[in-house]
Amino acid sequence: MAKMEKLETADSSTEEKIKEAAAKVFTQKGFAATRTRDIAEEAGINLALLNYYFRSKEKLFDLVMMESLQKFLLGVRDILNDVNSSLTEKISQLASHYIELLKVNTDLPLFILSEIRANPGRLEANMGAKEILLQSNFYKQLEATTKKKVDPVHFLMNIFGLTVFPFVASPLLRIIGEKSKTEFDALMDERKKMIPIWVDAMLKSI
């Protein structure tokens, strides 16, 4: 007998509720500190349902991590490979894209980085990211601009350092700078304009 589809939005299905709760709790507390009971409670479901739908804590985590990586990487391919934009324009677009993304998902990068450190094996499975980045038009423009003088990887570090690091360090920075979430976000908005200018200045300085 064929299974019947229920008339539910993806958001309200039990499976989706669990996945969203898992994403929230895993991202906040990390794999090891997360109890499957935390996820069940957050999702408002019976604990056994988690295993009914996802088999195990680890499988559910792998799913969440995969989607987190995609959230972080997807949506920049277009920017990286636009043949009609200059390097500076790409940097501007990348900065804006990541700042908008991370204002809403502040602890996404810290989650990804700390879980990869805790379990480096998980990364290798997933990544075509290296190829996407290193064979992109963006990277070629970067190589052409820096040519021979310095490793273009330096400027990858710089761009991501300027853009992503404030979010990674936000728990500390907000205290040190005495900023509310709103003020912090406003600072990040300012950076959308400044980062491309700064990177330009850095590129010219070498």
Partner DNA sequence: ATTTGATTTAATCAAATGATTAAAAACTAA
Partner DNA sequence: TTAGTTTTTAATCATTTGATTAAATCAAAT
Q: Which residues bind a copy of itself (CB under 8 A)?
A: 28-33, 107, 110, 113-114, 116-118, 120, 123-124, 127, 129-130, 133-134, 150-151, 153-154, 156-158, 160-162, 164-166, 168-169, 171-173, 175-179, 187, 190-191, 194, 197-198, 200-202, 204-206
73 contact, one of DNA, a copy of itself, none, CB 5-8 Å limit per kind: none
> Taking contact as CB under 7 A, which single stretch among the options 32-40, 116-124, 172-180, 186-194 is the one that binds DNA?
32-40
**129-138, long-range: CB < 8 A, 24+ apart:** 129/69, 129/73, 132/73, 132/77, 132/80, 133/80, 136/77, 136/80, 136/81, 137/80, 137/81, 137/82, 137/83, 138/79, 138/80, 138/81, 138/87, 138/90, 138/94
Rank residues 48 and 197 by Cβ distance to DNA and give the closer one.
48
Give the residue, chosen from 28, 41, 52, 151, that forms a contact with DNA under the rule CB under 7 A.
52
Measured CA to CA, the distance from residue 99 to residue 114 in angstroms comes to 20
Site string for DNA, 53-82 (x = CB under 7 A): --xxxx------------------------
Considering the rule CB under 7 A, would residue 46 count as an interface residue with DNA? Answer: yes
| DSSP per-residue codes, 21-82 | HHHHHHHHHHHHH--HHHHHHHHTS-HHHHHHHHSSHHHHHHHHHHHHHHHHHTTSHHHHH-
> Taking contact as CB under 7 A, which single stretch among the options 33-41, 70-78, 124-132, 157-165 is the one that binds DNA?
33-41
- SS3 assignment, position 126: helix
Write out the residues near DNA by the rule CB under 7 A: 1-4, 6-7, 14, 34-37, 45-49, 51-52, 55-58
